[in-house]
Every structure is written in structure tokens, then in C-alpha cells.
């Protein structure tokens, strides 16, 4: 294989996301990680190009070698370490960022099975790309063929959800079965260092997710185990979209019941400052009420003029508009839209807060139960 490995990206014909390929269990037989999969990819690339000397530049994240015991053959882990030392593999903390940085600057084709959904805000050129990515697929008699990977166009809701999972992965908050540690994320945490407010929900600022170290939520700054500070308060984020442009964002706290309309009074969200006089006349003083309770968000139409709603599907695609029945609670999920009047829309942000995330994960676990051999979610007591 080494004859096809380039020592720098500018000398390579293709870029390989090695962390993704080594873990791609659809090719190269069983096992968590295997360099045999890279061998099959290189053979497929030679067949595709007709060039026995075709060269690739390998990029891997440090976690690939960090799990040496997961390689099918222990000798492969040693070989990979030798490649890193010899400069034949670029080892970085986050391979995805580096792969996309090089691909974006050079236009080089990338061999991967990753759709990089969570990286699209920083790399918008991925959206709709049909030519720059090649995906390994099983071929005849155990071989691998490389086919164009259509990256498609992902919705903001899909991107937000993928970013949520990526944030959890970086903090060690996913199990080996890629399920979030809901019992950790749904709790509030506090550093025993009195002046540290990185994790305190009472600080009023940005609250970090804890980092798991040896199964214990730990402060990244002080390296000390965090103290359980009770259930984490839920929240929801709304956006006011006026004539297609996001004009304002609002965060609603757990337990809140908020009136929204032209001028709903104390504790409500007044939209009159965002609207023209003509549009404001079509919005009721207290048009809808949004309630956040137990990690769920519901909306109730209280208007004179009526409210329309359309719901987002699993991939973020929007359904047809339907009239909300008056004074009836309806679930208001991320990506859903409410139309108060023509050109006046309230939408749930694609971002979900911890309590709502936990409910979504638990619901998904019921729909798609894990195999009995899978690792169960760790419970901390």
C-alpha cells in the first residue's frame, strides 16, 4: 500500500478520510477498525483510474490510533503508527475539519462515506456537491468500487441536529453504540471550584456540556469531577421570520407560558415593532400562546384572525399548511412553522435544548431498539 501513499496533499491525486474508511464496516469484513479496507479502496482506485501509481493523502483523527485494541489485527495499529511517524498519515484532532479545509482550497476529490452534515455552515460548498466525493461500496467477490457521492442539500433542521450529536461526540457523551448519555446531558453540573461557572445554569451565560473522563463528568478547565446540580432546565428557541427574513430570536424557559402577538402585554413577545401598520392590523393582540413544559413545546391559537401551521418531517422538509383549531394545544417541534398573517411566520429553531433532546432520544430508542449485543447507556448514580 505504501507505494500509493503521498507525503503531502499537493502530491496526491485523491484525499482519503482514513478514520471514516477504516471504520466503514460495509466493506472489508467484520471488525471495528481495519486497514484492509484501505487496501481494498486503493485497489478499487487503481481499477477506476487505470493507474497503478495513483497516489492518495491520508488524514486521520487521533482517536483512530487511540483505540488500538479495536483494530482487527494488532499489527495494523503498529503499521499505522509507523505511517504517522514517517509522515504518510496526517494525524489531527478532528480529521473532518482538515479534510474539508484541503478539499475546499484545492478542489481535490475526497474518498469517504461521510456526508459532513454538521460542517456545512462552515463549508457551504458541500451543499449540492455531486462530483468531489467518492464513496466506497462493496463490489464483486469482496472487492470495493468507488462511486460518486451525491452530498445533496440538507435543511437547517438536519444540520442543527447533526451538530448536536457532533458536540456530544467531542465531549465523550456518546456510547459505543452512538447513543447519547441522556442521564448526563439532562442534569445540571457544577464545578467544585467556587469561581468556575463554565457549567452552572445559574451563571446566565453560555453553559458548557461536561466532558466525560473515565466515565465521570469532568471540568475541562480544572480537571476535577463535576457535582450534580439537579435537573437541567429546559428551553426552546423561536425565530420571528418577517417576509422571509429572520427579524428576531427568542428563548423561552422551562415552565413558561408566553403570549405572542401584536402587543400581548406583560411577559409576552410583542411583534408590533417588526411589522408595518398594515401587517400589524392582521395580527391579533395576543395571537398565540407557546408553552414549554417537561422538555416539550406546545402552541395554542388564541387569535381573532386564525393561524396556519405546517410541520417539518424527519429530514426537515415542510408539509402542507393547515388551519389550527382555536384554543387547542398542538405540539410545536423544531422546524415547524406558524403563520400568523401573510409574511409573518414563527418557527422553532433547529436547535433543541437538553430536556427536549432527551425526550427525542428516548422516543427514537423505542422505535429502533438496539441489538442485545450493543452497549447500554451508562447510568451515573
Residue range(s) defining the domain that contains residue 321: 235-352
- Whether 262 and 319 have beta carbons less than 8 Å apart is answered as no
Number of domains the chain contains: 3
> 78 and 31: one domain?
yes
Answer yes or no: is 331 within a domain.
Answer: yes
How many other C-beta atoms can be found within 10 angstroms of the C-beta atom of residue 31? 16
Structural domain ending residue among the three candidates 131, 148, 165: 148
pLDDT value for 356: 54
3-state secondary structure of 158: helix
pLDDT value for 363: 47
Cell reading at 107: 478542489
Structural domain ending residue among the three candidates 187, 206, 232: 232
Quick one: which of 216, 178, 161, 169 has its CA closest to 377?
178
Residue 364 backbone dihedrals phi, psi, to 5 degrees: -65, -35
Answer yes or no: is 376 within a domain.
Answer: no
How many other C-beta atoms can be found within 10 angstroms of the C-beta atom of residue 263? 16
3-state secondary structure of 159: helix
> 258 and 213: one domain?
no
Answer yes or no: is 372 within a domain.
Answer: no
How many other C-beta atoms can be found within 10 angstroms of the C-beta atom of residue 311? 17
Q: Chain centroid to CA 380: how far?
A: 24
pLDDT value for 154: 83
> 144 and 6: one domain?
yes
Answer yes or no: is 375 within a domain.
Answer: no
> 219 and 264: one domain?
no
> 228 and 239: one domain?
no
> 132 and 31: one domain?
yes
Burial class from Cβ neighbours inside 10 Å (0-12, 13-18, 19+) for residue 75 reads exposed
> 241 and 207: one domain?
no
Dist. CA 189–CA 207, nearest whole Å: 9
CATH code for the domain of 137: 3.40.50.11980
Split the chain (381 residues) into runs of 10 and give each run's mean pLDDT.
89 92 87 89 93 92 76 85 92 90 90 91 90 92 92 79 74 74 81 82 61 88 88 77 84 86 91 91 94 85 93 75 93 88 85 53 41 28 25
Whole-Å CA distances, 211 to 28, 74, 170, 228, 349 = 33, 29, 8, 14, 25
> 139 and 9: one domain?
yes
Structural domain ending residue among the three candidates 197, 232, 267: 232
Quick one: which of 155, 104, 150 has its CA closest to 316?
155
Amino acid at each position: 500500500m505504501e507505494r500509493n501513499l503521498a507525503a503531502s496533499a499537493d502530491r496526491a491525486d485523491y484525499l482519503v478520510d482514513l478514520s471514516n474508511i477504516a471504520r466503514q464496516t460495509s466493506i472489508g469484513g467484520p471488525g471495528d477498525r481495519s486497514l484492509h479496507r484501505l487496501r481494498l479502496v486503493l485497489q478499487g482506485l487503481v481499477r477506476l483510474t487505470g493507474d497503478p501509481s495513483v497516489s492518495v493523502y491520508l488524514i486521520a483523527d487521533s482517536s483512530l490510533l487511540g483505540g488500538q485494541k479495536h483494530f482487527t489485527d494488532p499489527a495494523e495499529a503498529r503499521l499505522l503508527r509507523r505511517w504517522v511517524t514517517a509522515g504518510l498519515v496526517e494525524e489531527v484532532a478532528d480529521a473532518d475539519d482538515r479534510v474539508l479545509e484541503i478539499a475546499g482550497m484545492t478542489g481535490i476529490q475526497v474518498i469517504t462515506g461521510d456526508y459532513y452534515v454538521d460542517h456545512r455552515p462552515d463549508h457551504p460548498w458541500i451543499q449540492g456537491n455531486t462530483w468531489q466525493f467518492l464513496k466506497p461500496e462493496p463490489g464483486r467477490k469482496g472487492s470495493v468500487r468507488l462511486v460518486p457521492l451525491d452530498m445533496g442539500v440538507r435543511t437547517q433542521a438536519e444540520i442543527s441536529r447533526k451538530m448536536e450529536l457532533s458536540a456530544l461526540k467531542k465531549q465523550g457523551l456518546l456510547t459505543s453504540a452512538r447513543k447519547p448519555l441522556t442521564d448526563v446531558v439532562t442534569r445540571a453540573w457544577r464545578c467544585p471550584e467556587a469561581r468556575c461557572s463554565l457549567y452552572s445554569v445559574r451563571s446566565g451565560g453560555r453553559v458548557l456540556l461536561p466532558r466525560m473522563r473515565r466515565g465521570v463528568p469532568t471540568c475541562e478547565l480544572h480537571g476535577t469531577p463535576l457535582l450534580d446540580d439537579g435537573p437541567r432546565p429546559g428551553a426552546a428557541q423561536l425565530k420571528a421570520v418577517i417576509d422571509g427574513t429572520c427579524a428576531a430570536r427568542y428563548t423561552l424557559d422551562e415552565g413558561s407560558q408566553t403570549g405572542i402577538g401584536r402587543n400581548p402585554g406583560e411577559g409576552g413577545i410583542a411583534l408590533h415593532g417588526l411589522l408595518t401598520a398594515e401587517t400589524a392590523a392582521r395580527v391579533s393582540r395576543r395571537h398565540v400562546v407557546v408553552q414549554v413544559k417537561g422538555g416539550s413545546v406546545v402552541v395554542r391559537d388564541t387569535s381573532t384572525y386564525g393561524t396556519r401551521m405546517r410541520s417539518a418531517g424527519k429530514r426537515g422538509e415542510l408539509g402542507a399548511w393547515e388551519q389550527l383549531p382555536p384554543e387547542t394545544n398542538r405540539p410545536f417541534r423544531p422546524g415547524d412553522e406558524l403563520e400568523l398573517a401573510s409574511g409573518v411566520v414563527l418557527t422553532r429553531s433547529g436547535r433543541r435544548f437538553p430536556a427536549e433532546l432527551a425526550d427525542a432520544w428516548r422516543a427514537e430508542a423505542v422505535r429502533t431498539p438496539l441489538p442485545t449485543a450493543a452497549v447500554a447507556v451508562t447510568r451515573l448514580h
